[in-house]
Structures are given as C-alpha cells and as structure tokens.
Structure 1
Amino acid sequence: MSENTETNRAHWNEAASTYNNRFSKTIQQIIEEIQKRREWIGVDWVDDASSDGEESSPPKKAVRLLDYACGTGLVSRALAPYVTQCMGIDLSEGMVNEYNASVQNQGIPASEMRAVLGNLIDASDPNPAALSGPEFHDFDIAVVGLGFHHFDDPALAAQRLAERLKKGGVLMIVDFMPHGHFHGHDGHGHGGHGHEHPAQKTVMHMGFSEEEIKRIFEGADVGGGFDFVLLGKGVVFEDGEKGTKMERNVFMARGSKL
C-alpha cells in the first residue's frame, strides 16, 4: 500500500461516521445534479416506472453500477432508482461500514446494493484476488464521485475501471475543475484557514481540465461519445458542523468503452 493510499484510508476512516450529517446539503445537491443528467450519461437504464400494475411484467434487465471510491454512497444513492445492482468499493473500512449500514437501514438486500473493501488502482497488484470474481466485472457503468483528485495516477485508475466495464459500458467522473489550493474546508480535506487540514496531504491533483480528462479517457479506451459538462454555476460545499461554505466548479465527464 502506497503512503498516499494509507493516508487516504486513515483520514476517511476517521471522517466516515460524521460525513453524511456534516455534508448533507452538498451531497443532496450533487445527487440531484447527477439525476438531472441521467439521459446524458448514456446508459440504457432500468425504467423505474416500469411496474404499473400489469399482471405479469417481464423480469428487469440487469443494469449494474460500480461506484468506485464510493464513500458513504453518494453516487449509488443518485443512480440506484435506475439500476438493478450497485457495487461500491472503497479503501476505507469506515466508509464501507457507513455505506452498508445505510443500505441495511433502508431494508435493501445486499444482492442489490453493497460495498466492499478494496483497491483497484494499486500499481503493484493489477488484479486483486478479493476483487477478481464475476460480480466485480461486466458493469454497465463505473463512476468515481469526487475521488479522482485523490488518486496517485488517475490515468491508471481510468484503465483499471475500464477493464471492469462491459463493451459499450460508460465511465463517468464527477470532480473539480482546476483551482488553486483551497482555503476554508469543503468536506474533501482541502485547505484550512492558514493551517494544513489533516486530509490536504491526500489531494494529489488540484482539479482537471476537459482536455486532461479527454486524454485520460482516450488512453483507457473509454473515449466513445466523450462529453464533459459543468454542473450549473458551481457546487456549494457546506460543512454543517463547522459552519463553513465554499463554492467550487464541478464537472461530469462520460465516455463509452470501445
């Protein structure tokens, strides 16, 4: 495990139990932005209005989501109504536990939504044994929601995630446009009023341009139908515990596996 990976793991373990409460407004804003753009994402979703009282509706087609660096499950919550299975993977035990506790509290079967502990982007281990089963392959969509800037090697991350997609499957990234060092606190460990926040050292990239992301997608053979959009006029990152707010330009990028 790299030093950065271990730093990430330790920070998110510590942050996990309070994360949903502290950033509930920001989480809800991003969920709504993702849902508004589900047609743009380009997946053949399950029709969530398909069961309208017919005597015997055919079984749902399988539509599977890989939510990588899933945290407490923001992306899974956004897209769960339109897929048949959400599989979260995170390197933080605390985040995995929070994700799964939320699923259990809602009475959702683990066969439909669950998170597991794992790391798909260790350069020294291209196919971790714990993540090698069929349930970890042939996804219709793989998403990284606000985690890409924490990765040592985003190009490697895109390649590893693309390997888990079926042909024609979609890779989607939600992350920050380029920016200077953060001031204040945005819930992802950036900045800190003149002193270093504990998670600032986990930030490897200060945002991404459209050109950078397009190059990464093409290098991972997921450049089909590439598109890149900004989320409105920015996303407000509000820490309900500390009472701080900050606005950042956030993008969504999508591309299909060729």
Structure 2
Amino acid sequence: MSASFDATVEILKALGEPTRLRLVMLLSGHDLTVSDLTSILGQSQPRISRHLKLLVESGVVLRHQEGAWAYFRRSDDPLVATLTDALLAGVTDEDGRLAGDREKLEDVRRERAERAALYFSRNAEQWDRIRSLHVPDAEVEAALLSSLGEESVEAMLDVGTGTGRLLELLAPRSERALGIDASREMLSIARAKLDASGLSRATVRQGDAYRLPVPRGSFALVTLHQVLHYLDDPAAAVREAAGALGPGGRLAIVDFAPHRLEELRAEHAHLRLGFSEEALGAYVQAAGLCVESIRALPLQGRRADALTVLILVARRPRATPFLDPAPRPVEAA
C-alpha cells in the first residue's frame, strides 16, 4: 500500500502522545463515548475531548453522533489501520498501564451487556410470541446463507440491524460490516453482542432507512431483515438500500408473506401485513436490480396464524454504470 509522505506524518504526529496512543488502542475494534473513555483512562472530560478532537482532525479516529451522545472508533482507512496496527503490535506494557485500560474496558463492556440483558428480559415475551408464528430463526438464517452462496463480501450493510444478529452471522464472511438502526436501545444491544462475539470488523451506527448515512455505491451486500413491514414506504427504503450497492452488489430482503394477523399491526407496530413475491420483486426492479432468487419458508402444521417467511436476493448488474436511484444534494460535512 502506498501513501503520501504528508499523510503518514500527520497520522504519526497524532499518535505521538501517550494519552492519544492509549485512546487509539481502546478504539481499535470498539465504539466508545467520551464518558466511557474518561472512566477508563481516569482523565478529565475536557482533556479526553481535546485529544479526541485532534485524532478526528487527523483522520485516525471517526466520530458519529447518536442523539445527545457521540461515539468514537478508529478509522478503517487502510493507511490508518496499517500504521496503527504496526505500532500497537510492538508496544510493550512495562508499567501495566495498558493492562489496566483493558480491565476497565471490560467493565464498560460488562455494563453494556447487563443493560442489554435487562432490555431483553422486558421484551422477551412479545418477541417470543412472534417467533412462535414462523419457522425457527436458525432455519431462516440457514436459508439466507444458502441463498447468498459462498461469494465473498468486501463490505456489507445491515439496514435496521436491531440486535445485530445478521452482523454476527455475516460479518465473518466480510472485510467490513456496518449495521444501521434508528433505535438507540437496539444499538446498545447490538454493541454488547458484537463485543461478546469479538467481531471487531463489525460496527453499528444510528441512522434512517430512508436516508442512509453511508457513501453511495460502497457496499457489496445490503440486507433488510424483517424491516420493511415496519415502514410506511417500503419501496423508498428498498431504493435507498439499492443506492448503497456498487456494481455487482446484492440486496437480500427477509420479510413475511401476506397474512391477516391484525394483532401484529395493533400490538407490534407492523404497518404492513406482509408482502407478496410480486411486490418485493417490483420494489427491487424499480430500484434497478435484478431478482436472482426468492424462497418461501412456511411453518409446517395447521396453525391458522402461521407466518411464511420470504427471502429475496437481487443484484445490481455489473455491466451497467452505477446509477443512484435516489439522487440527493450533497450536504456540508
């Protein structure tokens, strides 16, 4: 990998201070807030914020906002990753300071896991009710993996990531995985699960399915797993997801076939009572994609309230130039 001399110097200058180097070590594979970092390093909030500002300005660290909170993480830029990994691999911990940082980081991760467990316990009953209406999640996941095949994925995006389950499932197949969700509670759960799984290549961000906070045409795989039935304009969400795909990229949609369970609308905020294969096919074709496969997974038995899960995979043609299906003005940074 080649890089400009000036860019390399700026990165090394940013790392050339004890606190900033410790921060980058903590942020390599974890999303952390200023509050998290002040707790771990035992330094004041203004001091930590000042160091983070310098790291962000140098491009070593990325900052993203979630409501009133800001999260920080080491940049995945190849130059930054190569230089920082090389430096961190050779650092020795003579005074145990770095070991202390790691122990306090584990405390932060444990607190996240406890908050996630509490949220799960409060909502487990309603989630279990919906799961009982369709084939087991393991079967859905196996069918999704089968539909996607063995094709390698450089970068994947999971829209409406929820608890981050698809990131856990698919991140090992990709070089970079990003989950987007509007709910801070769900993002907290997803972060706890990714921490527990050790998936440092996967991260999550707050965002809107209708206006994804990602560069256009930058992903090889985008997933919409049980998302569309919550949306008032699923066609617009599919167009936006398609806009994140590069040439040859694939979109995978998992959702319910048409049903008549009004309770899901009344009690679980489902705005759409499923989608036909024709409707999903029309959505992706209108977004400039070609349907590759559609699979139906019915629940076996005679339950009148049983749900059928549909899995659709579509691809952006490689032979045609990338066209943004939902162009929009460029916003100032």
The answer to whether the superposition gives a TM-score over 0.5 is yes
Provide closer, same or farther for how the CA distance between residues 75 and 140 of structure 1 changes in structure 2, counting only shifts above 3 A. Answer: same
Partner of 2:184: 93
Kindly indicate which of the two structures has a greater share of residues assigned to helix: 2
Find the aligned partners of 1:235 and 1:252 in 2 and give their Cα distance.
Answer: 17
Find the aligned partners of 2:278 and 2:237 in 1 and give their Cα distance.
Answer: 17
1:31-58 deviations in Å (ceiling 9; x for gaps): 443334424225622xxxxxxxxxxxxx
The question of whether the paired residues in 1 share the 8 Å contact of 2:159 and 2:224 is answered with: yes
The question of whether the paired residues in 1 share the 8 Å contact of 2:229 and 2:272 is answered with: yes
- The secondary structure found in structure 1 opposite 2:306 is strand
Find the aligned partners of 1:89 and 1:16 in 2 and give their Cα distance.
Answer: 22
Provide closer, same or farther for how the CA distance between residues 21 and 203 of structure 1 changes in structure 2, counting only shifts above 3 A. Answer: closer
Query: Which segment is superposed worse, 167-176 or 73-82?
Result: 73-82
Find the aligned partners of 1:16 and 1:65 in 2 and give their Cα distance.
Answer: 29
- Give, in angstroms, the shift of residue 228 of structure 1: 1.0
Aligned residues: 194
- Give, in angstroms, the shift of residue 147 of structure 1: 1.0
Of the three residues 249, 253, 257, the one matched with 2:312 is 253
Provide closer, same or farther for how the CA distance between residues 73 and 179 of structure 1 changes in structure 2, counting only shifts above 3 A. Answer: same
Partner of 2:270: 203
- Given the alignment of the two structures, is residue 139 of structure 1 paired with residue 219 of structure 2, yes or no? yes
- The secondary structure found in structure 1 opposite 2:198 is coil
Structure 1: gaps (5+ residues): 1-13, 46-61, 184-189, 237-245
Structure 2: gaps (5+ residues): 1-115, 318-333
Q: How does 1:11-26 map to 2 (within 5 A)?
A: 17-18=119-120, 23=127, 26=131
- The secondary structure found in structure 2 opposite 1:144 is strand
Find the aligned partners of 1:79 and 1:85 in 2 and give their Cα distance.
Answer: 10
Provide closer, same or farther for how the CA distance between residues 81 and 154 of structure 1 changes in structure 2, counting only shifts above 3 A. Answer: same
Look up the equivalent residue of 2:280 and give its one-letter code. I
- Give, in angstroms, the shift of residue 220 of structure 1: 0.4
Partner of 2:299: 234
The question of whether the paired residues in 2 share the 8 Å contact of 1:16 and 1:95 is answered with: no
- The secondary structure found in structure 2 opposite 1:102 is helix
Of the three residues 220, 241, 244, the one matched with 1:164 is 244
Provide closer, same or farther for how the CA distance between residues 77 and 182 of structure 1 changes in structure 2, counting only shifts above 3 A. Answer: farther
Q: Which has the larger radius of gyration?
A: 2
Higher RCO structure (Cα 8 Å, ≥6 apart): 1
TM-score normalised over the length of structure 1: 0.65
Partner of 2:202: 113
Look up the equivalent residue of 1:68 and give its one-letter code. V
1:199-249 deviations in Å (ceiling 9; x for gaps): 3xx322111001111111100011x24321112x3289xxxxxxxxx6311
Find the aligned partners of 1:71 and 1:15 in 2 and give their Cα distance.
Answer: 14
- Give, in angstroms, the shift of residue 152 of structure 1: 1.3
The question of whether the paired residues in 1 share the 8 Å contact of 2:168 and 2:199 is answered with: no
Find the aligned partners of 1:170 and 1:100 in 2 and give their Cα distance.
Answer: 25
The question of whether the paired residues in 2 share the 8 Å contact of 1:43 and 1:170 is answered with: no
Provide closer, same or farther for how the CA distance between residues 235 and 206 of structure 1 changes in structure 2, counting only shifts above 3 A. Answer: farther
Find the aligned partners of 2:167 and 2:309 in 1 and give their Cα distance.
Answer: 18
- Give, in angstroms, the shift of residue 257 of structure 1: 1.0
Find the aligned partners of 1:16 and 1:156 in 2 and give their Cα distance.
Answer: 34
- The secondary structure found in structure 2 opposite 1:63 is strand
- The secondary structure found in structure 1 opposite 2:251 is strand
The question of whether the paired residues in 2 share the 8 Å contact of 1:87 and 1:113 is answered with: yes
The question of whether the paired residues in 1 share the 8 Å contact of 2:285 and 2:291 is answered with: no
Partner of 2:141: 34
- Given the alignment of the two structures, is residue 65 of structure 1 paired with residue 144 of structure 2, yes or no? no
- Give the CA RMSD over aligned residues: 3.1
Percent of aligned positions with the same letter in both sequences?
A: 24
Provide closer, same or farther for how the CA distance between residues 235 and 168 of structure 1 changes in structure 2, counting only shifts above 3 A. Answer: farther
